[in-house]
Amino acid sequence: MKIRLNKFLSSEGITSRRKADELISSGRVDVNKKVVTELGFRVDPDFDIVVVDGEQVKVQKRVYYLLHKPKGFVTTTDDEKGRKTVMHLIENSKGLFPVGRLDINTTGALIITNDGDFANTVLHPSFGKKRVYVAKLTRSISEENQKRLSRGIVIDGRRSKFIEFTSLSKDNDYVRVSTLEGRNHFVKKMFEAIGIFVKDLHRESFAGLTLNDMPVGAYRVITETELSKMLG
């Protein structure tokens, strides 16, 4: 199946699509030994030979992992402050990246891959991939406020809500919430909007993938069946 050349370069980790367009326009990309400068040019990754600055682009094997992120790790490929990143937990992590973000002290389900298109699919709210969190709150949350967060409130200028809300303790300070949102600090901001802070946050599942009894810091391969369900 043919795809746009800039998308191919991006999906193989060469550069972003915008930067790929710059490479193509400047004549630095060859396809089957011919220079290509047409931005809409399409290639078949299974048959065409693509060369950037004299070096052939090798088609990567797609890799998909589910990681049980521990506290104290930054969700990025590298960190300018020298902190440990989630990639330190993955053997042979070259070319891989985390899908979305979890705060440094938030634990739980995190996907690691080298497939940019897959990452975009599971992250975008329009695809309806649910995120389930367990949160320990600084104080009890009333039933009225639980309903408010389920009906929707405005944060960051946008109407936002939890699609599910369950209290897990008699004091209503330990809760499980579900959302389709992936914005940074979304769960914490929702509670802060009603004057409650989150002491601990754990993501139980993401896009149907559940950690179950996976040890903290461990990771496993996401199965073909799981991938089919996620993309179905």
Give DSSP secondary structure letters for the chain. Answer: --EEHHHHHHHTTSS-HHHHHHHHHTT-EEETTEE---TT-EE-TTT--EEETTEEPPPPPP-EEEEEEPTT-BSSS--TT---BGGGGSTT-TT-EESS---TT-EEEEEEES-HHHHHHHHSGGG---EEEEEEESS---HHHHHHHHH-EEETTEEE--SEEEE-STTS-EEEEEES---TTHHHHHHHTTT--EEEEEEEEETTEE-TTPPTT-EEEPPHHHHHHHH-
> Are the C-beta atoms of 4 and 41 separated by less than 8 Å?
yes
pLDDT of 167: 96
Q: How many CB atoms lie within 10 A of CB 112?
A: 24
pLDDT of 109: 98
Numbered ranges of CATH 3.30.70.580 in the chain? 64-125+211-231
- Does the domain made of 64-125+211-231 have the CATH classification 3.40.630.10? no
Superfamily of domain 130-206: Pseudouridine synthase (3.30.2350.10)
Place of tokens 């049980």: 68
| Domain 3-56, second-level architecture | Roll (3.10)
pLDDT of 127: 81
Q: What is the pLDDT of residues 64-90, one digit of tens each?
A: 999 999 999 999 999 889 999 999 999
Numbered ranges of CATH 3.30.2350.10 in the chain? 130-206
| CA atoms in the 13 A half-sphere facing the CB of 153 | 18
Query: Per the residue annotation, which of 48, 79, 103, 173 is the catalytic one?
Result: 103
pLDDT of 188: 97
From first to last of the 232 residues of the chain, give the pLDDT tens digit: 789 999 899 878 788 888 999 999 999 999 999 999 999 999 998 899 999 999 999 888 889 999 999 999 999 999 889 999 999 999 988 889 999 999 999 999 999 998 887 888 888 877 889 999 999 999 999 999 999 999 999 999 999 999 999 999 999 999 999 999 888 899 999 999 999 999 999 999 999 999 999 999 999 999 999 998 888 7
pTM of the model: 0.81
> Are the C-beta atoms of 139 and 173 separated by less than 8 Å?
yes
Numbered ranges of CATH 3.10.290.10 in the chain? 3-56
Q: Residue 231: which of 149, 138, 137, 115 has the closest Cα?
A: 115
pLDDT of 232: 74
pLDDT of 20: 92
> What tokens does 109 get?
């389900």
- The dihedral built from the CA positions of residue 148, 153, 155 and 160, taken in this order, carries a sign that is positive
Is 103 annotated as catalytic? yes
pLDDT of 14: 85
